[in-house]
């Protein structure tokens, strides 16, 4: 807690104001350190921003570096009751899909009752087995109501649910399996009472039955995966036939390429803004003309124009398919040129992007991913080294500030001690002067 001081009581001087003025001059070096701290922090934030945008570029490149990621496909169906969707690595093809039966879960109803809340007067045990699972046993008391039994079944831990259905005049207990498929049929064992659950189910558990190009198959659910490579079929209706086609999705591929372009240009814009390259003035003084940013931009720029290893013929660089840089170093996409290349030689375009030894491709995207690691990700990467150096500089400034701040406190204490001594001396002289004056006045009155 700072102390309250009253200066100049003896001398008449405003010593507090004088000391404040002196300390303001003394603190000029401290203010300079504060200014440097702000500059260095802005630089650290700038390098961190560059690293983040480099990571975004790597993600965009990764989305185009695999054969499954680059080769985008879409699935279509001529009948809306069979919904086809691409779920993995696929290839262009068409299939005739016919659905004979849908997969269903078992539903069983008990004997109708007049009330759902009156005691049934039944007691015993109800055994329930779902498929090949372990049976569960539920104890039924004579005071149990239909609702009580439904609750006990629902909390038994078996893969089923139970509820009470009212048809307008009577109440019936419904037990429904949670899983479809013939393997999930439910069996009941009523010991000491009869609810009527052991009879024929209202809906039997059954598998989906379908054919693909005449080949019969069954599934336990209506979500059919694996039958068509990379495609999932959602079945919603029986006795229907549909033509399912898998085709190239050029729009999806272009979106991925556009995302790569955006990520690349974010790096260029950020680098130019921070360091003041091109026609832009540096927004961060500490990073003006920064060599680490310049080398980072140069590294990814060279990858755009270089020949991709393993490619031959017309399409050997990204520029040959419509990806090139403008005067500011930003990447631009000529969609018409990309579309034409995909139409003329899709395999050659694939090799430009994809890293896959099975097709003899290294791909440009792998090179971008490696470059990002060297620039921003690895322990000794360019931007990490720059960030570490700024961190050390920031720590030195913090240490210098703390040391100088302590020195300022000592200097202020010294000033106050000196002025206090001055006030003491002045006060002493004032007292002596007053005494002499009093003596003179006394002598003159005799």
When mean pLDDT is compared across 59-63, 141-145, 276-280, 418-422, the lowest value belongs to 418-422
- What pLDDT does residue 15 have? 76
**What is the model's pTM?**
0.62
Three-state SS for 9?
coil
Kindly state the average pLDDT of the residues 82-87. 89
pLDDT of residue 1: 40
Give 223-266 pLDDT, tens digit per residue: 999 899 889 999 999 999 999 999 888 788 889 999 999 999 99
User: β-strands 240-248, 124-130: how paired?
Assistant: unpaired
Nearest Cα residue to 392 out of 404, 403, 384, 382: 384
Is the pLDDT assigned to residue 149 strictly greater than 70?
Answer: yes
| Position 4 confidence tier, pLDDT thresholds 50, 70, 90 | very low
Average pLDDT of the chain is 89
Instruction: Tell me the mean pLDDT in the region 83-106.
Output: 90
Decide: residue 134, CB within 10 A, 0-12 exposed, 13-18 middle, 19+ buried: exposed
Residue range 269-295: mean pLDDT, rounded: 91
In this model, does residue 111 exceed pLDDT 90?
yes
Show contacts of 337-345: CB within 8 Å, 24+ apart: 338/254, 338/257, 339/250, 339/254, 341/315, 342/250, 342/253, 344/314, 345/313, 345/314, 345/315
Tens digit of each residue's pLDDT (9 = 90 or more) over 387-404? 999 999 989 988 888 888
How far, in Å, CA of 384 to CA of 393, rounded?
14
Q: According to the model, what pLDDT value does residue 444 have?
A: 52
Work out the pLDDT band at 9, boundaries 50, 70, 90: very low
The residues, ordered by sequence, that sit 6+ positions from 182 with a Cβ below 8 Å of its Cβ are: 205, 206, 207, 220
Q: Would you state the pLDDT for residue 361? A: 76
Res 158: pLDDT: 93
CA distance linking residue 315 with residue 304, whole number of Å: 13
Q: What is the mean pLDDT of residues 34-42?
A: 90
Most confident of 109-113, 359-363, 417-421, 440-444: 109-113
R_g (Cα) of the chain, nearest Å: 42
pLDDT, residue 6, reads: 46
* Residue 384: per-residue pLDDT: 93
What pLDDT shows up at residue 370? 94
């Amino acid at each position: 807690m700072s102390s309250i001081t009253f200066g100049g009581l003896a001398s008449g001087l405003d010593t507090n104001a004088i000391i404040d003025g002196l300390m303001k001059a003394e603190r000029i070096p401290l203010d300079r350190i504060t200014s440097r701290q702000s500059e260095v922090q802005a630089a650290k934030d700038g390098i961190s921003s560059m690293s983040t945008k480099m990571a975004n570029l790597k993600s965009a490149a990764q989305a185009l570096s695999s054969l499954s990621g680059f080769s985008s496909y879409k699935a279509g169906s001529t009948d809306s009751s069979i919904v086809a969707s691409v779920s993995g690595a696929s290839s262009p093809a068409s299939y005739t899909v016919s659905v004979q039966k849908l997969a269903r879960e078992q539903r069983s109803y008990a004997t109708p009752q007049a009330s759902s809340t009156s005691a049934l007067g039944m007691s015993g045990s109800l055994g329930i087995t779902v498929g090949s699972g372990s049976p569960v046993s539920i104890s039924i008391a004579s005071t149990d109501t239909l609702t009580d039994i439904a609750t006990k079944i629902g909390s038994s831990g078996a893969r089923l649910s139970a509820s009470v259905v009212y048809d307008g005049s009577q109440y019936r207990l419904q037990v429904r399996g949670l899983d479809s498929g013939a393997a999930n049929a439910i069996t009941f064992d009523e010991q000491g009472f009869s609810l009527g659950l052991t009879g024929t189910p209202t809906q039997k558990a059954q598998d989906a039955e379908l054919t693909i190009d005449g080949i019969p198959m069954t599934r336990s659910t209506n979500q059919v995966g694996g039958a068509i490579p990379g495609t999932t079929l959602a079945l919603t209706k029986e006795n229907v036939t549909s033509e399912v086609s898998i085709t190239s999705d050029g729009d999806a591929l272009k979106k991925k390429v556009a995302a790569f372009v955006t990520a690349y240009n974010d790096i260029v814009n950020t680098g130019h803004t921070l360091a003041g390259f091109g026609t832009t003035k540096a927004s961060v003084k500490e990073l003006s003309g920064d060599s680490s940013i310049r080398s980072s931009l140069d590294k990814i720029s060279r990858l755009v124009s270089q020949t991709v290893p393993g490619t031959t013929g017309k399409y050997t660089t990204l520029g040959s398919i419509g990806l090139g840089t403008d005067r500011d170093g930003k990447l631009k996409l000529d969609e018409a040129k990309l579309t034409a290349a995909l139409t003329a030689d899709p395999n050659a375009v694939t090799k430009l992007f994809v890293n896959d030894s099975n097709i003899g491709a290294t791909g440009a995207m792998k090179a971008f991913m490696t470059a990002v690691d060297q620039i921003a990700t690895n322990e000794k990467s360019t931007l990490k080294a720059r960030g570490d150096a700024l961190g050390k500089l920031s720590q030195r400034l913090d240490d210098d500030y703390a040391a100088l701040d302590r020195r300022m406190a000592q200097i202020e204490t010294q000033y106050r001690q000196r002025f206090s001594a001055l006030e003491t001396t002045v006060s002493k002289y004032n007292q002596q002067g007053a005494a002499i004056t009093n003596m003179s006045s006394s002598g003159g009155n005799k």
